[in-house]
Amino acid sequence: MLSADLLHKYGLPEDEIVDAVECAVAKTLTAAFQRTVTVRAEGELEIIAYPKLGHPVEMQLKDIPKKLRRHIIHSVEAELQKRQILLEAKKLQELQGRVFCGAVGRIGSRGTLHVTLEIDDLLKPLILFGECPLRYQPPHERSRYRIGEQRSFLVTSVRPVMVGGDIAKVRLILNRTSRVLPALLLQDLTGIAGIKCRRRIAGGFSEVVTPVRIPKKSINTVGKELREHVQVLIAP
């Protein structure tokens, strides 16, 4: 009933797959038969039903109606997909607090930017999708973004999104108003550690403190990217 392809296409650890199958099958059968059902999926599938009266009864897979078996497979796939997304969200947590370039793919009715991010991973490039809500856009930039425009965004948070009571995808929240954004951009451009932004009014100015001198070209590049004046002070 549970094919090898179904169990291996999600890239989960073996114990996680077994636990997901056991939970999904038990939950589905408990709801269908209105009695407690436990499942063991290590090796052959073992199903035990506990009636309100009498002894526990072992159920054979062949005795379960085909329609219910299809429902079980659907439940198992949904559980595996949910756990795959949770695992992906955990891995992507390392992106939080970093800056990436992204292209505006769509602008929502409430001004939210739907952005495509291309991230260079050690093994392969990743293409991810993020959202930059209106509140995280500088006032002077709102309503001025164009489809296809490339901008730098800070990844503020990474979290799973619930759709219809189930986890459906990983959501990256992006930000262009953060106080740390000018400093992170300068660090990425120059490779200089210890750069900090002391004060920022998005779209107005940023006060950045650095331990060493920063090339003027890098300062101008960041100022152009943020469309604001970047003031740099050296404080060894």
Do 32 and 72 belong together in one domain? yes
DSSP SS3 for 155: strand
Amino acid letter, residue 180? V
Give residue 178's pLDDT: 97
Number of domains in the chain: 3
Q: Final residue of a domain: which of 154, 175, 196?
A: 175
152 alpha-carbon distance from chain centroid: 18
Do 101 and 88 belong together in one domain? no
Do 207 and 156 belong together in one domain? no
Do 15 and 57 belong together in one domain? yes
Report the alpha-carbon angle 182-187-188, nearest 5.
100
Whether 73 has a pLDDT exceeding 50, the answer reads yes
Q: Which two tokens stand for residue 138?
A: 């500088």
Contact at 8 Å (CB) between 88 and 168? no
Whether 160 has a pLDDT exceeding 90, the answer reads no
Amino acid letter, residue 144? R
Do 12 and 67 belong together in one domain? yes
Distance CA 161, CA 212 (A): 42
Do 84 and 133 belong together in one domain? no
Q: Which single residue is written with the structure tokens 């169990």?
A: 7
Query: Helix/strand/coil (H, E, C) string of 22-38?
Result: HHHHHHHHHHHHCCEEE
Do 52 and 31 belong together in one domain? yes
Whether 124 has a pLDDT exceeding 80, the answer reads no
Give residue 6's pLDDT: 59
pTM, two decimals, is: 0.73
> What pLDDT, in 10s, does the model give residues 93-121?
889 999 999 999 999 999 999 999 988 76
The residues pairing with 163 across neighbouring beta strands, listed in sequence order, are: 166
CATH number at residue 149: 2.40.50.140
Do 202 and 133 belong together in one domain? no
Q: What backbone phi and psi angles, to 5 degrees, belong to 5?
A: -60, -40
Give residue 1's pLDDT: 46
Give residue 5's pLDDT: 66
Average pLDDT over every residue of 158-182? 83
Q: Final residue of a domain: which of 43, 58, 92?
A: 92
Average pLDDT over every residue of 13-39? 89
Q: Which domain holds residue 163?
A: 96-175
Whether 13 has a pLDDT exceeding 90, the answer reads no
Give residue 7's pLDDT: 59
Do 111 and 168 belong together in one domain? yes
Distance CA 105, CA 174 (A): 14
Average pLDDT over every residue of 43-56? 86
Q: What percent of the chain has pLDDT over 90?
A: 57
Do 162 and 134 belong together in one domain? yes
Contact at 8 Å (CB) between 135 and 127? no
Q: Final residue of a domain: which of 49, 73, 92?
A: 92
> Could you tell me how many helices (H) and strands (E) the chain has, helices first?
5, 11
| Burial class of residue 109 in the structure, from the number of CB atoms within 10 Å of its CB (0-12 exposed, 13-18 middle, 19+ buried) | exposed
Query: Helix/strand/coil (H, E, C) string of 133-152?
Result: CHHHCCCCCCCCCCCCCEEE
Do 40 and 86 belong together in one domain? yes
Do 101 and 49 belong together in one domain? no
Distance CA 96, CA 11 (A): 23
